[in-house]
Amino acid sequence: MLNSEYRRRVADTIKEVESRTDAEVVTVLARTADNYLYISTLWAAFLALLLAPLMQFLPWWLEYQQAFTLQWILFIVFAVLFRWRPLTMRLVPKRVKYWRAANLARRQFLQQELHSTEGRLGLLIFVAEAEHYVEILADRGLAEHITNENWQEIVENFIHEIKRGKTGEAFVHCIEKCGDLLQQAAPATAIKNELPNHLIILD
């Protein structure tokens, strides 16, 4: 997650961009789109159940009740181990991670009231850090003038920087590049600030 210096730089960059356009830019950074507790639990249960066919190979003096207890212990150990975030993210299928992140992005678009800006000129830059997921959502007033291909190029550069551990710099560069497109699509006609400029962080 970003330190105070990068948060300040993000806010300053948004302020500068919005001085050149009527669009409203909101940035949201989520540590993760989901805790994926059900995924880690399912993996733990699956591995613990694998012990069942192996019981016939256990020492003859190990009673059934003891084997059953051992199975439960393994389940608990795996469940705790798989909750370690780097390991959890490896267990979750990419399709599931992206689906959850995209879901959260759309909820944030509504929660941050980007759909209610004057002229429908709201723009959301959403990042789910653990998933390495970036999405730019533009309201109707901007989508009429800026193609998805323009946004996608910015998104791909952003993701590349996140994977290199440069989330802060990537955020600033992304806002600047979006600003150039916004200035062309919706140049400033009035001084206004409908939505907050600070980076919104979801823990």
Write out the H or E segment, with its range, that includes residue 202.
strand 200-202
For residues 141 and 196, membership in a common domain is answered with: yes
Q: What is the mean pLDDT of residues 44-73?
A: 70
For residues 109 and 129, membership in a common domain is answered with: yes
Domain boundary among 91, 121, 156: 91
Query: Are the C-beta atoms of residues 161 and 167 closer than 8 Å to each other?
Result: yes
Lowest mean pLDDT segment, chosen from 41-50, 108-117, 140-149, 176-185: 41-50
For residues 62 and 159, membership in a common domain is answered with: no
Query: Are the C-beta atoms of residues 1 and 31 closer than 8 Å to each other?
Result: yes
Specify the 3-state DSSP secondary structure of 82.
coil
Bridge partners of 105, per DSSP, are none
For residues 173 and 83, membership in a common domain is answered with: no
> Tell me, what's the pLDDT at 163?
83
Tally of domains in the chain? 2
For residues 55 and 25, membership in a common domain is answered with: no
**Each residue of 153-177: pLDDT tens digit?**
999 999 888 888 888 888 999 999 9
Domain boundary among 91, 120, 137: 91
Domain limits for position 70: 37-91
For residues 126 and 138, membership in a common domain is answered with: yes
**Each residue of 113-166: pLDDT tens digit?**
999 999 999 999 999 988 989 999 999 999 999 988 999 999 999 988 888 888
Q: What is the CATH number of the domain that holds 144?
A: 3.10.310.50
For residues 148 and 79, membership in a common domain is answered with: no
For residues 99 and 144, membership in a common domain is answered with: yes
How far apart are alpha carbons 200 and 126 in whole angstroms?
10
Please, which residues have CB within 8 angstroms of residue 109's CB and are 6 or more apart in sequence?
115, 122, 124, 126, 137
Q: What pTM was estimated for this model as a whole?
A: 0.83
Residue 15 — pLDDT band, cuts 50, 70, 90? Answer: very high
Q: What is the DSSP string of 147-180?
A: -HHHHHHHHHHHHHHHHTT-HHHHHHHHHHHHHH
For residues 142 and 173, membership in a common domain is answered with: yes
**Each residue of 28-41: pLDDT tens digit?**
999 999 988 888 88
> Tell me, what's the pLDDT at 84?
87
